[in-house]
Amino acid sequence: MTEPSANDVPPKLSEEDMARVAEYLNSPSHRRERAPFRPWTLLLVLTVVVSVISAVSMFYAWQQGIRIL
């Protein structure tokens, strides 16, 4: 037995539907340039957010009389 190739599988969408999808994706609102992904900026933002949340929770605990360190 041979594995079915991509050519043997019938398309899930008709040619008319594929044309609609292509028209939709090529419309000006979907052809917008995106900024490059910046992993270091994401890491910095996450670090700042976690630090601020930690500081707020430690301050709240200190206000309630709980010794942290």
* Domain boundary assignment for the chain: 38-69
**pLDDT in the model for residue 31:** 73
Q: Tokens 């490059």 label which residue?
A: 36
**pLDDT in the model for residue 4:** 57
**Whole-number Å distance between alpha carbons of 61 and 47:** 21
More confident residue, 43 or 19: 43
Map residue 62 onto helix, strand or coil. helix
State pLDDT tens for residues 11-40.
787 889 889 988 888 887 777 788 899 999
